[in-house]
Amino acid sequence: GQNIDQPTEMTATEGAIVQINCTYQTSGFNGLFWYQQHAGEAPTFLSYNVLDGLEEKGRFSSFLSRSKGYSYLLLKELQMKDSASYLCVVRRWTGGGNKLTFGTGTQLKVEL
Amino acid sequence: SAVISQKPSRDICQRGTSLTIQCQVDSQVTMMFWYRQQPGQSLTLIATANQGSEATYESGFVIDKFPISRPNLTFSTLTVSNMSPEDSSIYLCSVRPGQGGIQYFGAGTRLSVL
């Protein structure tokens, strides 16, 4: 089966750096996404990794190690607006197409 | 990218009634998806709705309970039928417009069943 683990909640200080970890177990791995979801709003795409290594996009970076089934999302220069839930999402190939499996999300609270 | 509009944004319904949720996309897309997000849980795929074919339902979801329409490449509806309190959830529409595989989501419909 598929399994995704990420911390339920984290707290960090404005201006700091925070790393949100995600471990997964799946067959047919075909990429990993990170989404941000503010309360009552749509999940929005942040990053995508399919090969091992680091992908950087502004204040956000995402890392993937396929052999370890591990990813992290790194947020730098934290702002209050970064308070949200961060979803680790694994894409797998099922033979009939790609399907997404969602983690339960990490609720990040940014404090002054 | 894609911009998705969902209606209604929220509703409170009585047990035994049905609610139809609409999803409108600002561009033509082949693949549309309907998800459910129960309180404190992750998103769960209900079905995939491709234009011109019947929707494909995931294990645990059936057409009689969640009928889906997909009349064209920019629009879909999901009906939650014969509702019970266990159907109280957020229902989200999602599309995958390009080859890159990124999925975009609507803001969701927050349903409460009394």
Is residue B102 over pLDDT 70? Answer: yes
How many beta-carbon contacts under 8 Å exist across A and B? 43
User: Is A3 in CB contact (< 8 Å) with chain B?
Assistant: no
pLDDT at B31: 86
* pLDDT tens, position by position, B10-38: 999 999 999 999 999 999 998 899 999 99
Mean pLDDT of B64-90: 96
- Candidates B24, B50, B105, partner chain A, best to mutate (most A CBs within 10 A): B105
Cα B13 versus chain centre, distance: 17
Read off the pLDDT band of B73 (50, 70, 90).
very high
Q: Which residue in the set A43, A48, A91 is minimally distant from B105, CB to CB?
A: A43
Read off the pLDDT band of B93 (50, 70, 90).
very high
pLDDT at A1: 65
pLDDT at B92: 96
Note whether A48 contacts B41, CB cutoff 8 Å.
no
- Candidates A3, A22, A24, A37, partner chain B, best to mutate (most B CBs within 10 A): A37
**What residues contact residue A24 under an 8 Å CB cut-off, 6+ apart?**
A2, A3, A4, A5, A32, A69, A70, A71, A88, A90, A103
